[in-house]
Structure 1
Amino acid sequence: MPQRNRGRPPAFDRDRAVLDAARLFWRRGYSGTSTRALTASLGLSTSSLYAAFGSKAGLFEEAVRTYAERYREIYEQAVAEQDIRTVVERVLTDSVHEFTRPSDVHPGCLSSSAAMTDSTSTLDTSAYFAELQDSNERALLARVERAIQDGELTAGTDAAALTGLVQSVWHGLSTRSNLGATREDLLATARLAHELICRQLTPPAL
C-alpha cells in the first residue's frame, strides 16, 4: 500500500505561546494555572512545553519579564527626550497605548493581575514589579533633576514631588485601564494631566 504523506506540524510560535500563557497566569495566578491548562491553551505536549521553556516556572518567568519590561523601555525612551515636557508627555501617553494594546497582542496589565500575588520559587512577581517601578521612578527623577540643573525648570521645583505626581497619574491610568476605560478616555486624561503639570513648570525668565 502506498504510504500516506504526513502533514507538517505547525511551526512553533514562541511569542504567541508566551502571550497565551501570560493570559492564563494573569487571570489565574501561577499556582492556579496547571500544566494541563497551559498545554491545552498553547497546543503543545507536556514534553514540548518543557523542551521550549524548561518548566512551567520558566514559562511564567518569561511571560512576566516579556510584558513587564516593556514599561522600562517606555521610560528609557521618554527620559532620552531633550525637553522635559516631552518626557512627561511620553511617559503618560506611551504608557496608555501600552495599557490598551489589543488583546490579541497583549495579555493585560500585570500590576493588578492574579500573578502579582502568586510567584514561583525563583521569581517573586510583586517584588520584581516593585523593583521595575522603582527603577522607572529613579530614571524619571534623575531626568527631572537634570532639567532643573539645566534651567529647563525653575530652581525651586521639587523634583521628588514632580516625579511622584507623574507616577501617581501613571498608576491611576493603569487602574482605570484595568477597570475598562477606553484608550480615548485615558489619553484625554493623560493629556489634561500633562497640560496641568506643564503649567507649573514655567522656566525662569531670560
Structure 2
Amino acid sequence: MTEHPRGRPRAFDRDRAILEAARLFWRRGYSGTSTRALTAALGLSSSSLYAAFGSKAGLFEEAVRTYAERYREIYQQGVAEPDIRTVLERILIGSVHEFTQPDDTHPGCLISSAVMTDRADTLDTTAYVAALHRANEQALLRRVERAVRDGELAPGTSAAALTGLVQTLWHGLSVRSNLGAPREDLTAAAQLAHRLICRQLASPAP
C-alpha cells in the first residue's frame, strides 16, 4: 500500500492563510488568538501550520509585515513621482484605497487593531509600526525638501510643516476608515485636501 506524505495539503494557499490569520490577530490580539483558533480558521492541522510558518509567532510576524509593508510601498511609489503634486496625490489617495480594501482581500487596518496593545513572542508591533511611520515620514520629508530646493513649491514653504500636515491627514483618514467611513467619502476628503494644499503651495507664475 502506498503511503501518502504528511504535511500541508496541496491546496494550501499561503496568501489566504495569512489573510485569515491577520483577521483573527487584528480582532483578538496576539495573546487572545489561540493556535486552535488559527488552525480552525485556516483549515490546517497544527503540524501543517508549524510546517508552513514555524510557529504562531512566525505566522503573526508574517501577517503584520505583509499588511503593514503595503503602506511603505505606497510612500515609496509616491515619492518616486516626478512632481510634488503627484507625490502628495499618490500618498493620500493611494492610502485611502488601501484603508478601504474589500473584506475578502484585506483584514482591516492594523493601526487600530487589538494587536497594537498586545505583545508577541518575536515582534513588538507598536515599535515596528512606529518605525514604519518614521521611515515613511522621513521619505516624504526628503522629497518635499527636494521640491522646495527645485522651486516646485512657493518660496518659504516649510518642508517639515507640509510633511506634518500630510501625515496628520493620513492618520485622520485611517481613523475615519476604521470608523466605517465609505471609500467615496474618504476619497473626496483626500482630493479636497490635496487641492487645497496645492493651491496654497503653488509656485508663483513666472
Give unpaired runs (5+ residues) of structure 2: 1-8
Deviations 1:97-122 (A, max 9, x none): 00000000000000000011112132
Contact 2:26 2:115 in 1 (8 A): yes
Structure 1 residue identity aligned to 2:32: G
Contact 1:137 1:167 in 2 (8 A): yes
Aligned partner of residue 154 in structure 1, secondary structure: coil
Structure 2 residue identity aligned to 1:24: L
Q: Distance in 2 between matches of 1:12 and 1:21?
A: 14
What is residue 106 of structure 1 aligned with on the other side?
106
Superposition TM-score, scaled by structure 2 size: 0.94
Q: How well do the aligned residues superpose, as a CA RMSD in angstroms?
A: 1.1
Seq. identity, %: 78
What is residue 56 of structure 1 aligned with on the other side?
56
Q: How many residues align?
A: 199
Structure 2 residue identity aligned to 1:133: H
Q: Distance in 2 between matches of 1:137 and 1:105?
A: 27
Give unpaired runs (5+ residues) of structure 1: 1-8
What is residue 180 of structure 2 aligned with on the other side?
180
What is residue 6 of structure 1 aligned with on the other side?
none
Matches within 5 A, 1:69-148: 69-148=69-148
Contact 1:151 1:204 in 2 (8 A): no
Q: Please say which of residues 64-73 and 194-203 is displaced more in the overlay.
A: 194-203
What is residue 33 of structure 1 aligned with on the other side?
33
Contact 2:85 2:198 in 1 (8 A): yes
Contact 2:35 2:46 in 1 (8 A): yes
Superposition TM-score, scaled by structure 1 size: 0.94
Moved over 6 A (4+): none
What is residue 47 of structure 1 aligned with on the other side?
47
Q: Distance in 2 between matches of 1:161 and 1:117?
A: 30
Question: Cα offset for 1:195?
Answer: 0.8
What is residue 159 of structure 2 aligned with on the other side?
159
Question: Cα offset for 1:199?
Answer: 1.3
